[in-house]
Amino acid sequence: MTPLSPATAPSRAERTDAPGVARCPHCGTAIEGAEDAFCCPGCEIAAAIIRGAGLERYYTEREAYAPRPEPLTAAWAGVPSEPRPDGTVSARLVVDGLRCASCVWVTEKVLERTAGVAEATVSYATGRATLRWDPGRVDLSTLAARIAALGYRPRPLGVDARPDRGLLVRLGIAAMAALGVMGLYEGIYAGWWYGGMDTRFAALFRWTSLLLATPVALWCATPFFAGAWAGLRHRMLHMDVPVALGIAVLYLHGVWATLAGRDGYLDSLTMLVALLLGGRMLEARGRRRAADAATALAATTPATARRARGDRLETVPADAIRRGDLIDAGAGEELAADGIVTEGSGQLRMALLTGEAAPVLVGPGARVVAGATLLDGALTIRVDAAGRDTVLQRMAGELRAAADAGTRPTPADRIAPWFTGLTLAVAAATLVVWWVFRGFDAALATTVAVLVVACPCALALAQPLTAAAALGAAARRGLLLRSSDALLALNDITVVALDKTGTVTGGDLRVVSADDATLRLAAGLERYSNHPIARAIVVEATRRKIPLPRGEGIREIPGVGIVGWVDGKHWMLASGGPGVLRIAAAGVPAREIELADTVRDDSAETVGALEGAGLEVVLLTGDHGDVAALVAQRTGISEVIAGADPAAKRAAIERLRARGERVLFAGDGINDGPALAAADLGIAMGSGAASSILVSDGVISSPSLTPLLAGVRAARAAARVIRFNHLQSILYNAVAIAAAAGGLVNPLVAALLMPASSAVVIWGAARIEPMVRREER
Amino acid sequence: MNAVLYLVPIALTLGAVFGAMFAYAALSGQFDDLDDPPERMLRE
């Protein structure tokens, strides 16, 4: 989970800088001038809020600077909240940018000390905030604005997957009963050893064991019976069928043995159910974590728009906009509806929609679509499609419809029918042969022994345990896979197709060339602005540790640029062609800053490693051929498909699949959705469009491609371990069944044999993490 | 050895009590989040 990444944590020593340079006390940006000056009004407000709440301690205890606050425009009114019996309402949010425990603490306390808030908790582990407030005194948008004012970014959260508490209770009860029965049966086996046991105690121990085993077999094991029944109804003999059969035989024999005054297999029964439930539990937990993380990544802030009503503008939620309305959009804002520009001009970034990284200059008459971000200038748009009718929402809707989740049978499920058939055949043969030669009594005991040792506990555990370990190993490295199916699919992949913008590249404009002096001037002009280009410049200046000078008389001229005084000269910063900013003042030669969407630092290395792992890497992009070729050359990708629209991307994936390849596609945009759904395995970028995250099989939660490689390694390690475990457990079952058919198995032998095979499975799962780690070296 | 005759039922009763307590704790959500409460304790 990313919200707590310590990447930007300053060390305490770093706070002392060259003379004449100070750091903004809130966000830590270097600035020229007086000690304790703030870099921007946002940080000043944040500090005032923190002081106002009496939480100054935050500044001395935190381990990381806060992010720079940015204004929050969002329609929080429509966010679902839950009414409570005491008249308060509650809602859950995801908060981005929480970097340390003190950030969590200060956010929680500021909210708690806001009038009208009944309860506020912020989770350090997941970055989620749970709020409960009195709707008569405060509203959610006020609370969200408080969080945003501190520099953290709140987003409303949908419903999280609830942990299956029932499964935990089943596991706990089964484990307790297993311990009890094991102890009692140890007494019984000791009785065998010493040649007989007082019949009173033997009866007490057997009946007590039956008493303990009954809830285990009849209640704790119901998930397996339910699974087996569902499988049989669909005429599918999957793994639950032989497991349920084994549990039923064990229990029925136990009841019969206890009534007849003999020893049963009740210790094996309870142990088996506890182990199997433990496997289920681990699998469910891994799946839930991935789902929660994906929900958080897909949570988007509800958009607002400024609508013209007569002479004035009103701010309304995006879904209140109707066809024919006139809406205004300013620099840095996302368009809320599709329409035609009537006035103004500016540069639009449409990377998530078209995959094209370079912004497009639009003016009156141009068609624009919802979801595009206006980088500079200002537009008035006559809306011709709003709400669900926008291109964005139509694409997202189609994707949701296309993403049907059919689970694939696991390798163990493919073995199950053969296994069950063979077991039943051997059991029947045993019954007949022993009945003919030794009589019914011996035949029954031997047949039960066959059915008992045939219970494929290890075989059933191999998949979920190993998959849970591998999913965990991948998640720790930034790849969240939704299911073990996705893990198995990842192991089979032969071609990795990568989207360019936002996947191989960072997706945001970054300064690629500028000298320090130029950057310093530009940063001085831009430090108070929230424009994406301004942010890129300030970020680069901060990275190079250039103190931000104080600009005076700064004015933004929409659609043109920004002017102001720095170092006694009047500068103008304006666009100097695509991807170039020009800064000039009277009597000084103009200087240039070049901005571009750059290749991620680790992309080339990851591409090389993926190819080294025997995978073919393809660049699949909606951007122009020359841009794509440049990125391909920088990363060492040999195959490029450029200029592809969403349909063409899907067609390209389908062509690869028709060739017999198994395709992984990683992308981040709305335009990548069809390709994500068409690929054998679709991986979305966590920073990407919500709809792409929702249709994907997995999400990369860090801004990097390396998690893909870690995922491939984890999947391959898991496949190796699962193969080995299947082999060893089948071997075990074969030997055990043969021994049982020969009459060599009694309850004690079964109690020793059955956990041994499961222990090997558990050992295998524990080896996944070291196996992945070894490959990383 | 006759102690066993009443110790086993006592153990069973105790086990049932603990089982019920565990079921109550689990069903009321005490095991839903194992990561945050320890952190929270340190923050105050």
Whether A145 contacts chain B with CB within 8 A: no
Q: Can you give the pTM of this predicted structure?
A: 0.76
Average pLDDT for A397-422: 66
Rounded Cα distance between A288 and A277, Å, is: 16
Average pLDDT for A400-406: 49
pLDDT, residue A397, reads 65
Contact A123 B23 (CB under 8 A): no
Domain A304-394 fold is: 2.70.150
Confidence of residue A410 (pLDDT cuts 50, 70, 90): low
- Inform me whether the pLDDT recorded for A395 exceeds 80: no
Rounded Cα distance between A557 and A389, Å, is: 33
- Inform me whether the pLDDT recorded for B13 exceeds 70: yes
Min Cα separation B26/chain A (Å) = 6
Domain coordinates in residue numbering, chain A: 1-160, 165-286+411-467+716-776, 304-394, 479-506+603-701, 510-595
- Inform me whether the pLDDT recorded for A115 exceeds 70: yes
| Owner of token pair 């109690």 | A751
Q: A250, A246, A243: which is closest to A228 by C-alpha?
A: A243
Report the CATH superfamily, name and number, of domain A479-506+603-701. Answer: HAD superfamily/HAD-like (3.40.50.1000)
- Inform me whether the pLDDT recorded for A2 exceeds 50: no
pLDDT, residue A273, reads 93
Confidence of residue A82 (pLDDT cuts 50, 70, 90): confident
Rounded Cα distance between A700 and A711, Å, is: 10
Residue of B1, B2, B28, B39 to mutate, testing the A interface (most A Cβ within 10 Å of its Cβ): B39
pLDDT, residue A208, reads 93
Average pLDDT for A42-49: 84
What residues of A are in contact with residue B23 (Cβ under 8 Å)? 169, 172-173
Rounded Cα distance between A253 and A106, Å, is: 61
Lowest mean pLDDT among A52-61, A113-122, A410-419, A728-737: A410-419
Beta strand extents in A408-551 (DSSP E only): 479-481, 495-498, 505-513
Let me know if the fold of A1-160 is the same as that of A510-595. no
Contact A204 B19 (CB under 8 A): no
Does an H or E element contain A91, and which?
strand A89-96
pLDDT, residue A38, reads 81
For A553-577, what is each residue's pLDDT tens digit?
888 776 677 888 888 888 888 877 7
For A137-190, what is each residue's pLDDT tens digit?
888 888 888 888 888 888 877 666 677 889 999 999 999 999 999 999 998 898
- Inform me whether the pLDDT recorded for A210 exceeds 90: yes
End-to-end Cα separation, chain A, in angstroms: 23
Domain A1-160 fold is: Alpha-Beta Plaits (3.30.70)
ipTM of predicted assembly, 2 dp = 0.92
Average pLDDT for A697-706: 88
Say which amino acid occupies A222.
T
Average pLDDT for A378-390: 83
Domain A510-595's class? alpha beta
Q: Phi and psi at residue A378, in whole multiples of 5°?
A: -150, 145
Looking at residue A334, the DSSP 8-state letter turns out to be B
Number of domains in chain B: 1
Q: pLDDT averaged over chain A?
A: 83
**Full residue range of the structural domain in which residue B12 is found:** 3-43
Q: Where are the alpha helices (DSSP H) in A335-382?
A: 351-354
Crossing angle of helices B3-27/A199-215, nearest 10°? 10
User: Shortest CB distance from B27 goes to which of A124, A169, A200?
Assistant: A169
What residues of B are in contact with residue A163 (Cβ under 8 Å)? 31-32
Judge whether A378 and A363 are in contact, CB under 8 Å.
no
Rounded Cα distance between A516 and A522, Å, is: 10
A755/A739: higher pLDDT: A739
- Other C-beta atoms lying within 10 Å of the C-beta of residue A309: 10
Can you say whether the dihedral through the CA atoms of A674, A675, A679, A683 is positive or negative?
negative
Give the residue numbers of A annotated as catalytic, written as ranges: 499
pLDDT, residue A401, reads 56
DSSP 3-state assignment of A421?
Answer: helix
Instruction: Label residues A530-556 b or e (16+ Cβ within 10 Å = b).
Output: bbbbbbbbbbbbbeeebbbbbbeebeb
For A239-258, what is each residue's pLDDT tens digit?
888 889 889 999 999 999 99
Length of chain B: 44
Looking at residue A73, the DSSP 8-state letter turns out to be -
Instruction: Give long-range contacts, CB 8 A cutoff, 24+ apart: A194-201.
Output: A198/B1, A199/A261, A200/B5, A201/B1, A201/B4
Judge whether A488 and A707 are in contact, CB under 8 Å.
no
User: Which residue is closest to B21 within chain A, CA to CA?
Assistant: A169
Q: A48, A46, A43: which is closest to A28 by C-alpha?
A: A43
| Owner of token pair 């105690």 | A201
The bridge status of strand A663-667 relative to strand A681-685 is parallel
Q: Phi and psi at residue A665, in whole multiples of 5°?
A: -120, 130
